[in-house]
Chains A and B, each alone.
Chain A
Amino acid sequence: MARLKIDNLRKSYGPVEVLKGIDLEIEDGGFLVLVGPSGCGKSTLLNCIAGLEDISGGDILIGERSVTGLHPSKRDIAMVFQSYALYPNMTVEKNISFGMEIRGMPRAAREAAINEVADMLQIRELLKRKPSQLSGGQRQRVAMGRALVRDPQVFLFDEPLSNLDAKLRVDMRTEIKRLHQRMGTTIVYVTHDQIEALTLATKIAVLKDGELLQFGTPDQIYNDPVNMFVADFMGSPSMNLLPATVVEDGGALMVSLAGHEGDMLLPAPESAAMRALLGRQVIFGIRPEAFTDPQGADRTTGQIEKRTCFVDVVEPAGSDTFAVVNLGGKSAVARLRADAQIAPGAVTELAFNMSKAVFFDPASQARVQ
């Protein structure tokens, strides 16, 4: 177990720069999740940590040791691939023991290690089978088993759940979380799925086009996004990002949104940055759960603002009811209690939790604090 530090990491394929100076650090026993849209460089970053790709600049430290230039097998890491990469010609048992065999571990020790992970992952009855005779979830577990027998400093997971169906995905997610809690090994985990990121991570890194946009705890990423991209990318349904105008009303800064009957005013935080945008456009961001029916609103915060809105569509979803509201010229999603009395086409009062509201500059997309 060790901390992992990535220092100004650069990676180019010929003239194409895929990673543009990434700085990350995850403490011993931490769970770092890399998220970002397809092609942003997540797998490349993981492969650089594993040593499967040479880096073009910067440094990677595992523990206190720089691993740059070290062969993958010497880095004390284990990796679970997106396709699981189980050796098709070997049985499950051989798959798990292959690495130990290569390292010249004695047979008895190998068997003990196999037995241990087989019990941990409940794959004992699969040991004699070939990978082609396994289901997706079983393959995934075998791939984990192969990584687990190494007892490495750092685990690397490249979208390990993306090939599974929705139900199995949720189960395996819990399984991975349990495993992490039990073993306490540092993990770097790549995913597309922001729910996976939020549930598993101790730290999240959001990447886009080879750049690190934000690095922080799930709470920071979710509640304090540094720009519109992060705000939009994390959370489901995603944050409402509504065009508004900064105005002054009786000395206080306000944002004005186009409502169903004229403009609607909501209080904006008093700050120099906000004041600089006076009279200009701003993007008002509010998550669906902070935009709800007055009975369901969070009463612990003193910043509930109630406004009447025109409800366009109502989408009951079991545990919640989603209402699509016309706001700022766009469709905003409000998340109401499941049994909220609401009908489409009605004008009703909804509550904005302004302590959760965030504002962005539409030109730079950056957060306005």
Chain B
Amino acid sequence: MSAAGQDIALKGSRITRFVIYTVLIVFAIFYLLPLYVMLTNSLKPLEEIRGGGMLSLPKVWTLEPWRAAWSHAQIGVSPTGLKPFFINSIMMVVPAVVLSTFMGAMNGYVLTKWSFRGSGVVFGLLLLACFIPFQIVLIPMARILGLIGLAGTTWGLVLVHTIYGLGFTTLFFRNYYAAFPTELVRAAQIDGASFFQIFWRILAPSSAPIVVVTVIWQFTNVWNDFLFGVSFADFDSIPMTVALNNLVNSSTGVKEYNVHFAGAILAALPTLVVYIVSGRYFVRGLMAGAVKG
């Protein structure tokens, strides 16, 4: 009787497994299909694409579209390729991510471990930043950037993204540090550690998971941003996303789809790398932050 029951259970679990895997594989194919199309077509000569068969593998393999996209495709008016804009984006993303993550960590630290009269209100206001649509701040932001002389510069974009990211980074760190035992901070106070010593020596070493979450979040958001880039950048600070758009729109005569595909993959590559390198921490960190707060 019990053996029969076990048998049924085993069979049942095998069927469930089969269904689960089938569904998962179907979804994986569905999501990978665009990447497949982009990758294969970026490795074909243009004639092959025009000859139809977007889904077929290249008959002639070529890296030329990649080379073109990177270094000599027509972007807007000049044939520079995406390279200078890729560098612009890096120059914008790295400081913006570092600054917003660090300031979010500081905010979270103060809001949980040094809370003061009205700190709840301050946190509420910071949270509000998460819900303000980008479009609303465009004009005031342009005015402010003009006033402080950062209009059209990479540092102007860094400032915008840092401020805009602060709501989220603060939320992440606040929730994470709310679960961090306050007694540790008190023990360090008795040991004589200062405000920053407590942060660097006690909290920071335990913050890796939430730092990873914040960095991934900020990196993807800032890297993928189009609106701020197109609104506030001058020619020498245009980020990758905007350049990609220009690439696709500015090709005179024939549309070089293979170059466009290569450019799009180049634009997506850094976020992909960030996810793959630290993705497993991402989920873990989100869970840790979600425990309390």
Are A and B interaction partners?
Answer: yes
How far does the Cβ of B19 sit from chain A's closest Cβ, in whole Å? 40
CB-contacts of B158-201 with A (<8 A): 181, 183-184, 186-193, 197, 201
Bound state CA distance, A81 and B190, in angstroms?
Answer: 11
A98-B201 in contact given A83-B183, A85-B183, A85-B184 (Cβ < 8 Å)? yes
Residues of A contacting B183 with CB < 8 Å? 81-83, 85
Residues of B contacting A83 with CB < 8 Å? 181, 183
Hey, which bits of chain A sit against chain B, CB under 8 A?
A: 47, 50, 52, 71-73, 77-79, 81-83, 85, 87-89, 98-99, 102-103, 146
Bound state CA distance, A102 and B189, in angstroms?
Answer: 10
Bound state CA distance, A78 and B193, in angstroms?
Answer: 14
Determine whether the beta carbon of B191 is less than 8 Å from that of A98. yes
Give the residue of B181, B186, B191 whose beta carbon is less than 8 angstroms from that of A102.
Answer: B191
- A-B contacts, CB under 8 A, total: 54
Determine whether the beta carbon of A85 is less than 8 Å from that of B181. yes
Determine whether the beta carbon of A73 is less than 8 Å from that of B181. no
Residues of B contacting A103 with CB < 8 Å? 192
Determine whether the beta carbon of B202 is less than 8 Å from that of A72. no
Determine whether the beta carbon of B197 is less than 8 Å from that of A79. no
B206 within 8 A of A: yes
Determine whether the beta carbon of A102 is less than 8 Å from that of B192. yes
B205 within 8 A of A: yes
Closest to B191 in A: A99
Determine whether the beta carbon of B181 is less than 8 Å from that of A87. no
Closest to A152 in B: B190
Residues of A contacting B202 with CB < 8 Å? 87, 89
Residues of A contacting B189 with CB < 8 Å? 52, 71-73
Beyond A73-B191, A82-B183, A87-B188, list 11 extra A-B contacts (CB 8 Å): A72-B190, A73-B192, A77-B190, A79-B186, A79-B190, A81-B183, A81-B186, A98-B188, A102-B192, A102-B193, A146-B187
Residues of B contacting A79 with CB < 8 Å? 186-187, 190
How far does the Cβ of B121 sit from chain A's closest Cβ, in whole Å? 15
How far does the Cβ of B161 sit from chain A's closest Cβ, in whole Å? 31
Closest to B194 in A: A102
How far does the Cβ of B196 sit from chain A's closest Cβ, in whole Å? 12
